[in-house]
Structure 1
Amino acid sequence: MMKDEFLKILRSHLRKLPEKDRQEILSDYEEHFQHGFHNERTEGEIARSLGNPKKLARELMADYHLERAQENQSIVSLFRAAFIFLGLGFFNLVVIGPMIAVIALIFSLYVSSFVLSLTPLFVVGSLLTVNSLMEFLFNLFTGLIATGLGILLGLGTIRFSRAYVKWFVRYLKSNLNIIKGGDKHE
């Protein structure tokens, strides 16, 4: 494979990256070829030493999405990075099920927190129809307790989801290092 063909394949598989990032990567590989020419290597030798451009592009895309997931720490960026990693290794298929389950759990905790936090709206309606002072106080304090639990659950869920995203990004990084054949502790 020649230099132009290698760069063309790499460019086509990196088309989903922003233009600036794609150009930076391509110029880096252009430099690899220039360095190889200075060491009197042929285009074919350099291209072979760099590896398969399709596989290289998948790894670069995974790196990019992993960095985005680490910067944004959102569930959406985590999903993007995880699905890119599915293409890199078959054993990641085992992880996707539990990942989706934990994300569903986080979503349900957010919904529960939101609903519990809205109980004062429901309590106000019930306070208008009570028959006794005891029933009034019971409804009032039950609503306040539910609101407090909703707020606490929401705060706990935020902390849990942030910790989960950080853990999963670390998992994806170590996974990428294994796929690349590098040291897990880089």
Structure 2
Amino acid sequence: MNQEQFLQELSKALKPLSEEERNEILFDFEEHITEGVKEGRPEANIIRELGSPKQIAKELVPDVTETAPAVQRPKKNLFQMACSAAAISILNLIFVLGPALGIFGVYVGFCGAALALSVSPIMFVGMVMFQMNTHMMLEFFLSLMFGSLGLLSCIGLWHLGKLLYSVSLRYIRYNLKLVTGAQT
């Protein structure tokens, strides 16, 4: 890309600015490129160092959405909010509470199983101390396998718990937005 192409693309990207501001910015970049060429640097390298004209324009043009006043929908009145809350509560009790409690119960069960598997090597040590068994090597490796499986399950369940927590929070926020009439 040469200097003319760079400045043309930059000019197009700076359209939201006034003519005076755009010309001033273009003059500054043109001067920067000219000075670099006078110093003996290749024009293409200077333009590459400056970056994309679109990216430069994004940084220089103020965001229009920030300057425009936000359009707000009128808030619901108290009666509408109470009706919405009652309807959402009934729907949540009928359709959401049962599956949510079921998922929570399964999660707690898996956590208990993972903890039980994780302590199996400790139980093996206790078993060796109090009784001697002929299948000691088999039980040793089984306890290591179950302990490893338990630890891996604990890690997976930790991440699953964080996911379930974030999904629950998003669902609660969504319900609150429905009740209050906030924009989604």
TM-score, normalised by the number of residues in structure 2 = 0.50
Flag the structure with larger Rg: 2
